[in-house]
Amino acid sequence: MRWNNFEFLNPEFLWFLVLIPALAIWYFITRKKGSAALTIASTKGFTVAPSIVSKLKPLLAVLRLTAITLLIFALARPRIVEVSSHTKTNKGIDIVMAIDVSASMLARDLKPNRLEALKKVANEFVIQRPNDRIGIVVYAGESFTKTPITSDKRIVKNTISEIKWGDLDGGTAIGMGLGSAVNRLKESKAKSKVIILLTDGVNNTGFVDPKTATELAVGLDIKVYTIGLGTNGTASFPYAKDPKTGKLLFRSSPVEIDEELLKYIAKETDGKYFRATDNNKLKAIYEEINKLEKTEIEEFKYYNYDERYRLLVILAGLFILIELFLKNTIFRSFI
């Protein structure tokens, strides 16, 4: 029996089970009153033959108590419940992550560096959005779409893992990154459209003005969450390559993030601006965005009940019939 799916519809009837021990005691006390008795001065003239039938007379009480117990369980309506569910997404969300991949994203104020820390958190974010479509845009001195919005999370996760520095020209074109993300959502039919724009610098190149891209987002009813990535003060930035080894050389430089621009973009689009100064804060930001943008899901549950009380009623009736049969046949002379 599948006990994890077993239940009683009317469990309050099980309280009647406390009467069973009381009835058993009552039957035991009154067991001799139902038998005929003959009072004589002496039994010396009688030969007493032991009878197994007389010893089995308590069986009648056992049958009656068993029948009552079964009827009590039947009244409690035991049953097996099978539950199947079907979910329907009522409000889908299309999300585009616009990620800065300029050289400054290799700064080591986040561990092991800004870019790798972001990739880890972004991957976790994707896993938590099973019902939404997600796209990836990367930008530095220019921008391009790594993955159009898709519901295939495997593709999105693979794309995030493959993001690296060096694929685009130098600089930070925030306007172009935002513009490309807006363009990805232009034809979206989703109820809610969201861009998560992350940068660690200032807009210093590109032919799309960030404020123009913001106006486009507002016109298409796209909400933009902006994230400024980098510690306060200075950080270890790459500035050149070692000519012998080809490895990047690092030096401490001031962290510069155009927070005013990021706050403007978020405010105009009804989004929110965040500042991530370390790994934990970056993770907390994505968790907060995940909570802010909830997909509405309707769940339908279907219940199938397999009633088990009928068998108990049949067994109880059978025990009562057996008791009546024995009472009026085998045990008749003893009653």
- In angstroms, rounded to a whole number, what is the distance separating the alpha carbons of residues 99 and 135? 11
- In angstroms, rounded to a whole number, what is the distance separating the alpha carbons of residues 205 and 141? 6
Can you tell me which residue has the tokens 């998560």?
A: 196
Confidence of residue 246 (pLDDT cuts 50, 70, 90): confident
The dihedrals phi and psi of 300, each to the nearest 5 degrees, come to -105, 130
Can you tell me which residue has the tokens 């016109």?
A: 219
Confidence of residue 2 (pLDDT cuts 50, 70, 90): low
pLDDT tens digits, 14-39: 888 888 888 888 887 876 665 555 55
Q: Would you call the peptide bond into 58 cis, given omega within 30 degrees of 0 as the criterion? A: no
Q: Which residue has the higher pLDDT, 8 or 167?
A: 8
Confidence of residue 90 (pLDDT cuts 50, 70, 90): low
CA 301: distance to chain centroid? Answer: 16
Q: Are 9 and 309 in contact (CB under 8 A)?
A: no
Q: What is the mean pLDDT of residues 222-250?
A: 92
Check pLDDT > 70 for residue 186.
Answer: yes
Q: What pLDDT does 65 receive?
A: 87
What is the residue-averaged pLDDT of the chain? 86
Q: What is the mean pLDDT of residues 166-170?
A: 77
Q: What is the mean pLDDT of residues 264-269?
A: 97
Positive or negative, the Cα torsion across 311, 312, 314, 318?
A: positive
Tell me if residue 131 falls in helix, strand or coil: coil
pLDDT tens digits, 113-149: 999 999 999 999 999 998 899 999 999 999 999 999 9
Can you tell me which residue has the tokens 């059978």?
A: 318
Q: What is the mean pLDDT of residues 277-287?
A: 95
Look up residue 177 and give its DSSP letter: H
Q: What pLDDT does 220 receive?
A: 96
Q: Are 130 and 170 in contact (CB under 8 A)?
A: no
pLDDT tens digits, 65-86: 888 888 888 888 888 888 776 6
Q: What pLDDT does 19 receive?
A: 86
Q: What pLDDT does 203 receive?
A: 95
Check pLDDT > 70 for residue 257.
Answer: yes
- In angstroms, rounded to a whole number, what is the distance separating the alpha carbons of residues 104 and 237? 6
SS3 assignment for 65-93: HHHHHHHHHHHCCEEEEEEEEEEEEEECE
Kindly list the distances between the CA atom of residue 23 and the CA atoms of 20, 64, 70, 166, 183, in Å, as whole numbers in the listed order.
5, 10, 15, 88, 81
Catalogue all structural domains in the chain, each as residue range(s) with its CATH number. 3-83+304-334 (no CATH), 93-294 (3.40.50.410)
Q: What pLDDT does 330 receive?
A: 77
Q: Which residues contact 38 (CB under 8 A, 6 or more apart)?
A: none
Highest mean pLDDT among 11-15, 110-114, 308-312: 110-114
Confidence of residue 298 (pLDDT cuts 50, 70, 90): low
Q: What is the mean pLDDT of residues 296-309?
A: 71
Q: What is the mean pLDDT of residues 173-179?
A: 96
- In angstroms, rounded to a whole number, what is the distance separating the alpha carbons of residues 197 and 183? 14
The candidate with the shortest Cα–Cα distance to 60, out of 312, 331, 317, is 331
Q: What is the mean pLDDT of residues 209-227?
A: 97
Q: Are 95 and 133 in contact (CB under 8 A)?
A: yes
Q: Which residue has the higher pLDDT, 193 or 330?
A: 193
Check pLDDT > 70 for residue 45.
Answer: no
Share of the chain above pLDDT 90, in %: 50
Q: What pLDDT does 1 receive?
A: 47
Check pLDDT > 50 for residue 177.
Answer: yes
- In angstroms, rounded to a whole number, what is the distance separating the alpha carbons of residues 281 and 160? 20
Confidence of residue 256 (pLDDT cuts 50, 70, 90): very high
Q: What is the mean pLDDT of residues 178-193?
A: 93
The token pair at 195 is 């861009």
